[in-house]
Amino acid sequence: MANSEATEKRRGFFANLERHATEEPSPAAKVYVYEAPLRLWHWVNALCLVVLCVTGYLIGKPPPSVGGEASFSYVFGYIRLVHFAAGQILMVAFIYRLAWAFLGNHHAHQLFLTPFWSPKWWGEVFHELRWYFFLEKVPKKYIGHNPLAQFSMFFLFLLPLLNGIVTGGALYAEGAGTDSWWFSAFGWVFSVYGDSFSVHTIHRITMWVITCFAMVHVYVAFREDIMSRQSLVSTMVSGWRYFKDDRE
């Protein structure tokens, strides 16, 4: 173990980043990959996104109004309340996840640091793409995320998530008022995207991007658990990556 750590230090940060993002043989039948704080963020984040997408859709397409005294039928107000609460939990959870990228093991920063400079990494991205289209017979083995998963999560999850956070913060700041700290933190979004209607539109498009990503992500997770050479779904529950064979 000491020799392995010394070798990693000699490789340098970017060389290690590339190594952890591409195929690597496992010395054991199982490897502890995802630590408990990362797994906690994953499931809290997933729950927040489900709540945000459902309530966000209803905010954009409100349910029919009901008769009677408004104070007895505060449905839309509760929808907005739940949406705002889930959004603020999502923001705090993202800051927590960003901090864990520095505090956790080397798998914790794969979401944020993608080795775009590596020809080997790109080769494995296209290999995984062919595998998902049933054009490759034998999948490769990965301890962390496979390169195509890294690519997809960076462009179709991380960047849309950041965009959803800043546009959502801007829209909340609009209601909080220009003298609020929310507007001080997110008011700049209007100067980038334009008026309130434009920010609303971009925020809603972001919701659909994340929704489509989530559906594909769930499908791929179960497909990989069945067809690949390592566990996937159970790994995000227990943290352990199990391997189905000992072939390289």
Per-residue pLDDT of the chain (248 residues; tens, 9 = 90+): 434 444 555 566 667 777 777 766 666 688 899 999 999 999 999 999 999 999 999 999 887 776 677 666 788 889 999 999 999 999 999 999 999 999 999 889 999 988 998 999 999 999 999 999 999 988 888 888 999 999 999 999 999 999 999 999 999 999 999 999 999 999 999 999 999 999 999 999 999 999 999 999 999 999 999 998 889 999 999 999 998 877 66
- For each of the domains in the chain, give its residue range(s) and CATH number, in order of start: 29-242 (1.20.950.20)
The one-letter amino acid code at 136 reads: E
Q: In whole angstroms, what is the distance from residue 232 CA to residue 10 CA?
A: 31
The label of the residue with tokens 């996840």 reads 97
Burial (CB < 10 A; 0-12, 13-18, 19+), residue 241, is buried
State the Cα–Cα distance between residues 94 and 158, nearest whole angstrom: 10
Cα distance between residue 141 and residue 244, in whole Å: 10
Report yes or no: 39 and 236 within 8 Å, Cβ to Cβ. Answer: yes
Distance CA 133, CA 236 (A): 24
Q: What is the pTM of this model?
A: 0.87
